[in-house]
Structure 1
Amino acid sequence: MNPAPELGPQLKQLRLSGILDSLDARNREAIQGKLAYTDFLALLISDEVARREQKKFSSRLRRAQFRTTKTLDQFDFERLPNLNRSLVHDLATGRYLQEKAPVLIVGPCGTGKSHLAQALGHCAVRQGVDVIFTTCASLTQSLNAARATGGYERKLATLARVPLLIIDDFGLKPLRSPADEDLHDLIAERYEQAATIVTSNLDFPEWDQAFPNNRLLASATLDRLRHNAYCMVLDGASYRAPRTAAGSVKPTPAKAAK
């Protein structure tokens, strides 16, 4: 007798309806393998746990709002021979998350800063950590929009609490008021309370240029970001360089006119 029709409503009441997806297959497996009742039950519970973990993972991945699926396995370390691979793999373990330490990644355009930041974010998601990925411009715009609707404090508190916040393209555009103050407030709230990853095209000594109107605010913000931070410099050729067709001849520069 098929037990599924009677078990269905009860499993749904107990919020275990996912067991129905594997019940028939596990039932046949138990009969063929002459499994003990406890072993059969263990298989069903294991399936349910795996299903719930996958659901949680998918939910965290969706909330993270990554641009693309960039993982560490896809990162081309060969293009960056000077990059400290040991540090990257150590960060992938998530130790900096427990330390609530910043991770700062700088380098020219196209060297893989966003890829590396998102890859570390994916590692965190797989470890059960909530992550938010955003550009610096989108972050400050969202805070300013929340201010306009009276929800600034709530938005700031939400961003301050997320265990890992990834801020991409810091310094790409100069921070004008109130964006510079909003970023400072957020970094101050997260300081030693949660981990933050920041990527930038600016070299570390140039970061204060992102605050053209308030050097004091720049100093206060960057001092918190740099404290106990893990720093990486990605120095190599851009992977966005145009491809040359096989067998084609590269154009030679034109001679200057006499």
Structure 2
Amino acid sequence: LRLPTFLREHDKQARICAAEGVDHVRYLARLTELELIDRERRMVERRIKAAKFPAIKSLDSFDFKAIPSLNKMMVLELARCDWIERKENGLGLVGCQKGLPVAFVTAAS
């Protein structure tokens, strides 16, 4: 089934659940939750690796005070990526207008 977190955590979680008097269903639920959390983490790591970023930078470490004219709320709103889910391509159009290579693809492509 490819459940590496189950394999790694089952003994530890069994001891914890036994000490807390947790039943088998909750024990399995805990293992499942840990597996899902770990899968999400690994998926993000794979996506970052596949993106081949030259350096890993995030908005968490960005100093908005260094550029006072930058609209922090707008940047954070764009970072939520809601515009992607709405299939809006405004940022891609701006990239094209600035001479940047842009590719718009759908999941079906």
Which whole-Å deviations, capped at 9, do the CAs of 1:98-148 have from their partners, x for residues lacking one? 2332437xxxxxxxxxxxxxxxxxxxxxxxxxxxxxxxxxxxxxxxxxxxx
Q: Distance in 2 between matches of 1:20 and 1:75?
A: 38
Provide TM-score, normalisation by structure 1.
Answer: 0.36
Q: Distance in 1 between matches of 2:71 and 2:4?
A: 47
SS for the counterpart of 1:103 is helix
Quick check: which has more Rg, 1 or 2?
Answer: 1
CA contact (8 A) 2:5 2:35 kept: yes
Equivalent in the alignment of 1:47: 34
Residues 187-198 of structure 1 mapped to structure 2, 5 A cutoff? 187=102, 190=104
CA contact (8 A) 2:5 2:31 kept: no
Q: Does 1:96 align with 2:83?
A: yes
| Aligned counterpart for 1:78 among listed residues 43, 61, 65 | 65
Q: Distance in 1 between matches of 2:74 and 2:4?
A: 43
Residues 194-209 of structure 1 mapped to structure 2, 5 A cutoff? none
Provide TM-score, normalisation by structure 2.
Answer: 0.79
Q: Distance in 2 between matches of 1:97 and 1:103?
A: 10
Q: Distance in 2 between matches of 1:19 and 1:88?
A: 39
SS for the counterpart of 2:32 is helix
Q: Per-residue deviation at 1:35?
A: 0.4
Higher strand share: 1
Q: Distance in 2 between matches of 1:55 and 1:20?
A: 16
Q: 1:17 to 1:71 in 2, by over 3 A?
A: closer
Return 5+ residue gaps in structure 1 as ranges: 1-13, 105-166, 173-182, 195-258
Q: Give the root-mean-square deviation of aligned CA atoms.
A: 2.3
Task: Write the letter of the residue equivalent to 1:84.
Answer: N
Q: Per-residue deviation at 1:48?
A: 1.1
Q: Distance in 2 between matches of 1:171 and 1:92?
A: 22
Q: Distance in 2 between matches of 1:64 and 1:100?
A: 21
Between the two structures, name the one with larger relative contact order (CA 8 Å, sep ≥ 6). 1
Task: Write the letter of the residue equivalent to 2:7.
Answer: L
Higher helix share: 2
- Alignment length (residue pairs): 101
Task: Write the letter of the residue equivalent to 1:23.
Answer: H
Residue identity (%): 29
Return 5+ residue gaps in structure 2 as ranges: none
Residues 151-230 of structure 1 mapped to structure 2, 5 A cutoff? 183=101, 187=102, 190=104
Task: Write the letter of the residue equivalent to 1:21.
Answer: R
Q: Per-residue deviation at 1:38?
A: 0.9
